[in-house]
Structure 1
Amino acid sequence: MSHPDSNNPYGGPPPGQQPAQPYDYPQGQRQPQPYGYPQPGQQPYGFPPQHQPQVQPQGQGHPGYPGHPGYAGGAYIPTELPGLAKAARVLLFVIGGLQLIGGIAAAVGLTALNSADTGLGSGPAGDAAAGIGMVAVVVLLALAVLVIVLAAKFGSGGNGVRVTTIVYASLGIVGSLFNLVQGTPAGAIGAVIGIAVGAVILAAMLQSQTAAWFKRPRH
């Protein structure tokens, strides 16, 4: 009995050999994928594994989002003094310095007038005028010291510094408005400058970022 030619592609397999399966792939090569849709969590057939998005560790987020170092308990904590508050701080230093210079100059002038033979300080009227002048000098110097201390405390002070600055700026605006209405045209220029400076300081203190800065936790 003759056997089919093993070289004949249309013949059967040699004796003792299993018939070849259709689409038989050598070992190690990619096998055909079954039909149908992949199961949940399974990669699509014929595609390489997809990279999963990496979850960013807490504490390394973008500024303005929870997880950033500027956040604590869901509230934003600024890491430096806001820009408008810095401008207000500079204005306070300037105002305090000018008031300090003006108070010292006024004290020296009153002392010179009292010691000179000008009639000031002689008699009840003179004593009253000298007393009022010295009280005004003391108040001016006290305000100068207060303003300088407030400006110096912007970096480490709490919300009390902010509230005191708001009160000071508000009183300065009211006083400047009074001078603008009752004063002379020459004094109106100073009153307008005072209103503008007080408005800048007040706006800086009412800013939400400035409030967060003064209310930030301190260790």
Structure 2
Amino acid sequence: MSYGDPNNPYGAPQGQQQPQQPPQQGYGYPQQQGQAPGYGYPQAPPVQQPYGAGAPVTTMPGSVSAARVMLWVIVGLQVIGVALFAFAAVALDKAKDDAAFEQFADYPTGALWAFSVFALAWLVWAAFLATKFTTGGNGLRVTTLVFGVITAVLGLYPFTLVGIIHLVLGILIAVFTGNSKGKAWFNRPRY
């Protein structure tokens, strides 16, 4: 190969010696060993994959764990609500017999008992969802999303004054289980 032309853009740089090329391997020349494997650029470290990109999720993400804790907070609030509604219903029944509390005689105690039963049912549903977070699949995720949305709506309308905490907790539960980390957690493979 000749780099004789000084204007050749593919030729050797000006003022430098041509490198000596080893003779071609072939007939009459001994075979030489190739370069050791790994010669050249170093191997790149493995790429970390985010949640949902095929990497198995082995520990519960923080946002999903927070949603679980919020469900347990709702359970505690519902215990207080059941106790208050039941106490109010019993106190109202006792007050109807007393002449000093005739003004409360018109309040229906059946409604208070109904609220107590409803609060108890909500308590059981929240406790069930919270206990199934480690083993539940996508169906539990959807059910928890529905629970969070219904809790937020009920925190707005019938129980506006005391339901503001339920409103915030319901929204956060729905957001934390509905995001990509929640999806990856509930759709993870189970062996």
| Same fold per superposition (TM over 0.5) | yes
User: Separation in 2 of the partners of 1:130 and 1:112?
Assistant: 9
**What are the equivalent positions in structure 2 for 1:26-175 lying under 5 Å apart?**
35-36=22-23, 43=34, 49-52=35-38, 61-64=46-49, 75-114=54-93, 116-119=94-97, 129-175=108-154
State the one-letter code of the partner of 1:52.
Answer: G
Higher RCO (Cα < 8 Å, 6 or more apart): 2
Q: 1:55 to 1:35 in 2, by over 3 A?
A: closer
Q: 1:169·1:199 contact (CA, 8 Å) conserved in 2?
A: yes
Match of 2:176 among 187, 204, 208: 204
Q: 1:97·1:148 contact (CA, 8 Å) conserved in 2?
A: no
Q: 1:195 to 1:110 in 2, by over 3 A?
A: closer
Shift of 1:156: 1.4
- Find the residue that maps to 2:60 and give its secondary structure: coil
State the one-letter code of the partner of 2:70.
Answer: L
TM-score normalised per structure 1: 0.59
User: Separation in 2 of the partners of 1:38 and 1:179?
Assistant: 90
Q: Deviations over 1:148-172 (max 9, x none)?
A: 1211111112222211111111112
- Find the residue that maps to 1:168 and give its secondary structure: helix
Which residue does the alignment assign to 2:156?
177
Q: 1:78·1:209 contact (CA, 8 Å) conserved in 2?
A: no
Q: 1:173·1:195 contact (CA, 8 Å) conserved in 2?
A: yes
User: Separation in 2 of the partners of 1:110 and 1:178?
Assistant: 22
User: Separation in 2 of the partners of 1:162 and 1:205?
Assistant: 6
User: Separation in 1 of the partners of 2:182 and 2:71?
Assistant: 15
Q: 1:37 to 1:208 in 2, by over 3 A?
A: farther
CA RMSD of aligned residues (A): 3.8
State the one-letter code of the partner of 1:113.
Answer: L
- Find the residue that maps to 1:64 and give its secondary structure: coil
User: Separation in 1 of the partners of 2:86 and 2:128?
Assistant: 21
| Identical amino acids, percent of aligned pairs | 32
Shift of 1:93: 0.3
Q: 1:199 to 1:36 in 2, by over 3 A?
A: farther
User: Separation in 2 of the partners of 1:79 and 1:214?
Assistant: 11
User: Separation in 2 of the partners of 1:61 and 1:100?
Assistant: 49
User: Separation in 1 of the partners of 2:79 and 2:183?
Assistant: 28
Shift of 1:35: 3.1
User: Separation in 2 of the partners of 1:93 and 1:161?
Assistant: 16
Shift of 1:34: 6.8
State the one-letter code of the partner of 1:170.
Answer: V
Q: 1:88 to 1:104 in 2, by over 3 A?
A: same
Number of residue pairs matched?
Answer: 160
Q: 1:76 to 1:127 in 2, by over 3 A?
A: farther
Off by >6 Å, runs of 4+ in structure 1: 53-56
User: Separation in 2 of the partners of 1:128 and 1:102?
Assistant: 18
